[in-house]
A and B are shown apart, each in its own frame.
Chain A
């Protein structure tokens, strides 16, 4: 089955640090990648959608300059949390999908990154 690798699985860092999270599709070309945030005992909240080679589309209320997304290749997308603060602490999950125009393709999820800002 399709495999999505997310790295790192856990990050603990000081306030003000920028943190980069990588999401890779290992066995398929991911034209579209999605980034989600999950608060404790809550559901997933879509932050942004990126298509390879294009600028990401951010959901309402998500700061573009705070959460930088780069989707430079068909197998890699990165999320950088810039100048992270304790309120950015959360569980971040990426998802990848084959095909930009075919929304009937399933999304495949990474294992998530637990970000803790001290």
Chain B
């Protein structure tokens, strides 16, 4: 059974800092890994999706890396801003119990990020 862990659980940084969020997963047989942002009381916004064959993906100030062999992914946020404050979730997509093709996402518990001015 896939288990996804995120460290740290919470992070508070001053504006302008570069920061790294960590995600680890126990089963390396993944389709892909996705990073999401969740604002309080809201749904999830997809930030980056890394296919199993890829090592990293970049979007603006965000860079996500994937190391399947060690079961790790990191989300790097450059020059953080107060608007980046949110909960960041990583999710690994693996086969479901029935082995059907669509797979399922297993989520970590998230990192609550606060960027203060």
Complex contacts, A46 vs chain B, CB 8 Å: 104-106
Main SS class of interface, A: strand
Contacting pair A43 B43 (CB below 8 A): no
Contacting pair A93 B105 (CB below 8 A): no
Identify which of B14-22, B44-52, B60-68, B73-81 touches chain A.
B44-52
Query: In the complex, which residues 58-108 of chain B have their Cβ closer than 8 Å to any Cβ of chain A?
Result: 89, 91, 93, 96-98, 100-108
A49 to B102, CA, bound (A): 9
Identify which of A11-19, A72-80, A107-115 touches chain B.
A107-115
Query: In the complex, which residues 25-69 of chain A have their Cβ closer than 8 Å to any Cβ of chain B?
Result: 32, 34, 42-44, 46, 49, 51, 57, 60
Closest to B100 in A: A57
A101 to B103, CA, bound (A): 9
Contacting pair B89 A111 (CB below 8 A): no
Contacting pair A109 B43 (CB below 8 A): yes
Closest to B46 in A: A106
Complex contacts, A107 vs chain B, CB 8 Å: 34, 46, 105
* Residue in B51, B91, B98, B106 whose beta carbon sits within 8 Å of that of A104 in the complex: B51
Q: Given A43-B107, A97-B102, are A104 and B41 neighbors across the interface (CB < 8 Å)?
A: no
Q: Given A57-B96, A109-B45, are A104 and B32 neighbors across the interface (CB < 8 Å)?
A: yes
A111 to B38, CA, bound (A): 9
Q: Given A43-B89, A103-B31, A104-B31, are A109 and B102 neighbors across the interface (CB < 8 Å)?
A: no
